[in-house]
Structures are given as structure tokens and as C-alpha cells.
Amino acid sequence: MAETELDQVSGKTTTGHQWDGIKELNTPLPRWWVLTFYATIIWAIGYWVVYPAWPLLWSNTTGLFNYSSRADVGVELANLEKIRGDKMVVLGAASLEDIEKDPALLALARARGKAAFGDNCAPCHGSGGAGAKGYPNLNDDDWLWGGSLEQIQQTIQFGARSGNAKAHEGAMLAFGKDGILKKDEIVTVANYVRSLSGLSTSQGYNAAAGAKLFADNCASCHGENGKGNQELGAPDLTDKIWLYGSDEATVIETITNGRAGVMPAWVGRLDPSTVKALAVYVHTLGGGK
């Protein structure tokens, strides 16, 4: 052991360590600090005993209380489901019409519907249900498959062209790609379709030829007057709302290549009460019939 000595200036002893004649003063850690340090070590030992701490080969020590944060989350989630469940049972038992008439049930359904909409529907329809090209705006009063509460519920449950046995079927044919109509015929019928909702037609367009082409090819689904058919998901061509766009090029593209947007089926993925809440929420966005 090196020799210690008393430093005259500071009044402290030195540790005896010396580098190039520079000596180190002995300044031990404060006692409270050391005691706290030992206390934390003792605390840690207690922690090993009480809480899961040591990894074993295939598992780990579980501790005295068998505590697990994962189990805690499970309990919390179960509690949430229970709280929600009681209310959702009420929702599940009421008819769609009754829900809309009862202010308390309506508020509950709209709150639950809003949350479920954000989780499941917003990626396509937008967080406010305003839609996008190819994805219908759910706020307006134009419905491909019907806008009553039951029809909306039906569409959410089984979807459109989703592969579900009860899904809405029927698609816009690809008149150009499949060679049913020639290019100039498509241009003519596209102009005719635009004229149905009062949009301008291009120069040299033959209205009579357009009407004939429409009657021969389109009227079977869209109706004689182009009013559409919700049984087939054929849109109303006389209104101001266009799912893919109303300019001539887009209409020509639609007629040439056809359209078949898909809405997935939610039955089995969402419980019936949630689907009900979603139907009410979508219906009360403003466009419901």
C-alpha cells in the first residue's frame, strides 16, 4: 500500500497515488450517497424475488406475485370490452330506425360508428367519408346500392364484388377493350351520356346516333333515361355526381375499360353491433335516405 500523507493546503489526506509528482487528495464519496447506493442494491434483490427477473432456458422466473405487464393489458382490454359490451348489447337489440329516433342511442351509435369508421373505412372513403375518385362520397345523397339504413347495413356487411356470396354483383362492362363498341361509337355514346346531365357535347356529335347506341348497349343496366339501377349498382347518369369524373376523356375511359370497384365484406370482421353503428353513422353523415 502506498504511503498517505496530510496535505497542508487543503487539510485532507492523500490517497498515496502519484503521477509525475501530482498527488491525489482523498475525497471519498459522501456517506449518504454510498448508503443510497447500497440501498438500491438491496432493493434490486427484493425486486428479483417479487417480480419476474431471471431468464431461464425456456421461460423466466415469475416472481412471488406472478405479475406480468402483458396480463395487465389483457385485463384492461377485457374491462374495456365489458364496458363497451354492455352498451353495445343495447345497440344490438334496437332496430336501426329506433336507434336514430332515440337521442341517447343515436349519440352512442355515432360515437362508436365514428371510431369504427376511422379504423376500417377511412383508408378508402376518407376520414370524413368524403371519398375520392372511385371511392364514393358517403356524405352526398347519391347511392350506388341504396341509401336507406338497411341498404347501407347490407352493403357494409357483404360489400360489393367482394367475393362474399351475398355481395353486390354486377360491373360496368369494358365496351372498348372487349370489342363490343368501336372507338368512334364510344366517343358518340360518351357525349350522349354527358348530355344527360346537361354537360356540353363536342362539335359534330350526332345526338340521334348516341341515343341509339345508349338504348342498345347501356339502357339494360342504366335504364332508358339513364336514371341508373341500384339493384345492379348502375349509377344515375343524369345527376351531378360522378364517381370517376365527368370530363369526356374519363367517360370514354370508363366505357372503354369498364369499372368494377370493390367494397370488402365486413361480416365476420366486425361484430353485428359495430356494423349497425357504422350504418347509422354513415346514414347520418347527411346523405341517408
Partner 1 sequence: MNKIVQIDPDQVEELGPLYAARKKVYPQKVSGTFRRIKWGLMAFCLGVYYFLPFVRWNRGLGAPDQAVLIDLPNSRFYFFFIELWPQEVYYFTGLLILAAITLFLMNSVGGRIWCGYLCPQTVWTDLFYAVERLVEGDRRERMKKDASAHRWTLERISELVLKHSIWLMIAWWTGGAWVLYFTDAPTLVKELVTFQAPAIAYIWIAILTATTYLLAGFMREQVCVYMCPWPRIQAALTDEWALNVTYRYDRGEKRMSVKKANELRALGQHAGDCVDCYQCVAVCPTGIDIRNGPQLDCIQCGLCIDACDNVMKKIGRPTRLIGYDNDINIQRRMEGKAPIYRIVRPRTITYVALIALVGGIMLYTLATRSLLDINVLHDRNPVAVKLSDGSIRNAYTVRFLNKRGFDRVVAIDIDGPQDAKLHVVGGDSITPDRPMIVLGRDGTTELRVLVTAPSDRNPEKSIPVKFRVTDIGLGEVASTTDNFVTP
Residue 106 or residue 270: which is nearer to partner 1 going by CB? 106
Q: Which of 159, 117, 148, 157 is nearest to 262 (CA)?
A: 159
How far apart CA 278 and CA 105 sit, in angstroms, is 13
Q: CB-wise, 151 or 188, nearer to partner 1?
A: 151
Minimum Å gap between C-beta 205 and partner 1 is 23
Distance CA 279, CA 109 (A): 9
Q: Contact, 233 vs 168, CB < 8 A?
A: yes
Question: 90 with 82: CB under 8 angstroms?
Answer: no
Dihedral sign computed on CA atoms, order 229, 230, 234, 240: positive
Strand 14-19, strand 22-25: pairing: antiparallel
Nearer to partner 1, 34 or 241 (CB): 241
- To partner 1, the closest distance from the beta carbon of 246 in angstroms equals 11
The CB-of-85 to partner 1 minimum distance in angstroms stands at 24
Instruction: Compute the least distance from the CB of residue 139 to partner 1, in Å.
Output: 4
In angstroms, give the least distance from the CB of 47 to partner 1: 25
**What is d(CA 130, CA 198) in angstroms, rounded to the nearest whole number?**
24
248's enclosing H/E stretch is helix 248-257
112 vs 167 by CB, closer to partner 1: 112
Torsion of the alpha carbons at 42, 46, 47 and 49, rounded to the nearest 10: 140
Residue (117 or 158) nearer to partner 1, CB: 117
Which amino acid type is present at position 124? C
Q: Please, what is the minimum distance in Å from the beta carbon of residue 239 to partner 1?
A: 4
Site residues, partner 1 (CB under 8 A):
100-101, 103, 106-107, 110, 126-130, 137, 139-142, 236, 239-241, 284-287
Q: Which is nearer to partner 1, 213 or 280 (CB)?
A: 280
